Amino acid sequence: MMEEDFYATIKLKNGEEIYAKVSPCFEEEKTLLLITNPITISEVKSRSGMSGYKLESWLKTSKEDMLLINMNDVLTISESKDIDMIIMYQNYVRQSKDYGDDYPSRKKINRKMGYISNVNDAKEILEKLYKNS
C-alpha cells in the first residue's frame, strides 16, 4: 500500500539531516520511506553578511536516485510546504541530471562575468584597496 508523495526534511537518529521527495511504504510490520534524490542543505554566509544555501547530494558515491530508509532509523520527519524550498530542490535535481558530474561547475569563466586579470594585477589592486581602507 502506497500513500501520496510529499517533500520533507528527515532527521536521522545518527544526526544527519536530509531533504527529499518521500513516499511511505508499508511492508508486513515495517514502515519504510522511499526517498527520491536525497540532498543535504547547508546555509552559507558571505563576509558581507549575505546568505544562501548549498545543496549537495546526500550520498556522494552512489548514482542511485531512489533509496529506502527504515522508520526505525528516523528521529523525526517534517513535511515541507515551503514553495521556495521545493523549487530549489527541483531545480537542483533537474540540473544535476542535465549536467551529471559537471554540476555545479558547469560554467566557464568569461569576460561577461566581470574583469579577468592576472595574479600580479589582482595582487596590486587588492593591496591598494587594503592600504586605502
pLDDT tens, position by position, 7-60: 999 999 999 999 999 998 888 888 899 999 999 999 888 888 888 888 999 998
- Residue ranges covered by each domain of the chain: 6-108
The CATH code belonging to domain 6-108 is 2.30.30.100
Query: Band of the pLDDT at 1, cuts 50, 70, 90?
Result: very low
Task: Say which range, 26-30, 64-68, 95-99, 126-130, has the weakest mean pLDDT.
Answer: 95-99
With vertex at residue 101, the alpha carbon angle to CA 100 and CA 106, rounded to the nearest 5 degrees, is: 85
Flag whether pLDDT at 105 surpasses 60.
no
Alpha-carbon distance of 63 to 66, in angstroms, equals 9
In DSSP terms, 117 is beta-bridged to: none
Between the ranges 7-11, 39-43, 109-113, 118-122, where is the mean pLDDT highest? 7-11
